[in-house]
Homo-oligomer: A and B are copies of this chain.
Amino acid sequence: MDVAVIGLGLIGGSLAQALATGGHAVVGFDADPATRGTARTAAAQAPARARWQVAGRLRDAIAHAELVALAVPLPALPPVLTELTGYDGLVTDVTSVKGPIRELLRQQLPTAAYVGGHPMAGKETSGFAAADPDLFTGCAWVLCLEPRETALPDWLTLARLVTALGARVVPATSAEHDRAVAAASHVPHLLAAALTTAVAGDPLAAALAAGSFRDGTRVAATRPELIAAMCGGNATAVGTALDGVLKTLAELRAALDEPDPATALRPLLAPASAARAAWPVATGTAVEVPWHADALLELGRAGGWVTGVDDERRVLRAVRPETVGGRP
Contact = CB atoms under 8 A, between A and B. Distances in A.
A326 B207 CA distance: 9
Contact of A239 (B75, B242, B253, B268): B253
A238 interface: yes
B203 A183 contact: no
A117 interface: no
A208 B170 contact: yes
B235 A197 contact: no
A198 B122 contact: no
A172 interface: yes
Interface of chain A, helix or strand or loop or mixed? helix
Stoichiometry, as copies per complex, reads 2
Interface string A219-253: 11111110111011101101101111110110011
Interface size class of A (residues with CB under 8 A): 35 or more
- Looking at A187, A191, A211, which has the most chain B CB atoms within 10 Å of its CB? A191
Interface in A24-83: 75
Contact of A221 (B139, B208, B273): B273
A321 B203 contact: yes
A284 to B, nearest CB: 10
A183 B275 CA distance: 24
B244 A198 contact: yes
Given A183-B205, A185-B209, A206-B279, A197 B227 contact: no
A137 B117 CA distance: 44
Given A207-B321, A245-B198, A256 B269 contact: no
A144 interface: no
Given A193-B252, A197-B245, A220-B276, 5 more contacts: A181-B205, A214-B280, A232-B256, A235-B261, A236-B256
A263 B209 contact: no
A327 B216 contact: no
A156 interface: no
